[in-house]
Amino acid sequence: MAIIGIERLVYGVDAVEESARFFEDFGLHPLEDGPDGVHFGLVNGARVVVLPLGHSALPRGGAIVGQGVQEVIWGVDSQAALDKLRIRLEARVDVDWDGDVLRFVTPFGVPMGLRVWAPRPVVCAPDPSNAPGRVERLNRPRRWRLKATPRLITHVVFAVPNYDSVHQFMVEMLDFRLTDRQNGFGNYLRADGTNNHHNILLLNADAPFPGVDGKLRFHHANFALEDLDEIMISVNTMLRKGWKASDQGLGRHRVDSALFYYFECPAGGEAEFGADADYVDDNWVPREWTNPLFAYAHFVHNLPPFLMNEPEWKFQYITGIAPRGTGH
């Protein structure tokens, strides 16, 4: 085990104050600002950092077009693991070690870093659910929540050219696992020290989606909440404060079973509330979703035109794949 999740996302933005207001309304905890940006914290100790585009603290050498996440810092569970990754990376890319963060730029143009990190424990206690014939909550109403708080940054998504080959860098150099492949859409990758279905999605930059134009761009980041109730409390808060939600509203992805609700983010791309995703380990068998629309959603509250007809049920398991996904 080595990489244990996203330690921080560093945003480069056009409007710092508006972006900071968005993240605070989104439920992130403001931290003391410093010369390297406006900081927000999550329950597990992960951070979101907001900087103006062009700031000297933003990484150099990346190829990301436009505003949004300009650097992903991954948490590593030990110095020994970081040292091993450093030796491996030095044979492939230029690295910069400042004594705290090991920084590099991936061959597909996304600046990343590695940092020894001990995340704070996260404890959730979602209300049990009742169903006809199965009573899990007797003489006890569901909690009346006042607010919702994102616990951790589950995943980050970039639209990348040559999406179906560049993901191999993450597998070979950083020990990520290929979790699922959505044909024509993207590759889902899980860090070796997590159980999240995916920690990064490398999206097809040539896919026919709004805002995807063949260039390397930040797409969205996912922030984990406890359950459906907490998602909708967060959504109501955001709408009351004037932020624009996705036209699709609440939905559940089929590819990772996760509930989703997206908001347009002034810091770039979208910010996603998520809950109840699949948790997997190395016993998971990756799937190839030969119909990407079938993978996209199990249900959507506001059904978009492209899902008006029920997608054909088409997927297959990827057999013969090595534990780290190197057989892909």
Candidates 327, 328, 317; CA nearest to 284 is: 317
What does each C-alpha distance from 60 to 54, 99, 133 come to in angstroms?
A: 10, 18, 59
Q: What angle do CA 257, 263, 267 make, to 5 degrees?
A: 120
Distance linking the first and last C-alpha atoms of the chain? 21
- Partners of 74 in the β-ladder: 6, 114
pLDDT tens for the 328 residues of the chain, in order: 699 999 999 999 999 999 999 999 999 999 988 788 899 999 999 999 999 999 999 999 999 999 999 999 999 999 999 999 999 999 999 999 999 999 999 999 999 999 999 999 999 999 999 999 999 999 999 999 988 899 999 999 999 999 999 999 999 999 999 999 999 999 999 999 999 999 999 999 999 887 899 999 999 999 999 999 999 999 999 999 999 999 999 999 999 999 999 999 999 999 999 999 999 999 999 999 999 999 999 999 999 998 999 999 989 999 866 545 443 3
How many Cβ atoms are within 10 Å of 311's Cβ, its own excluded?
Answer: 15
Q: Which amino acid is at 7?
A: E
Determine the Cα–Cα distance for residues 294 and 317; give it in Å rounded to an integer.
15
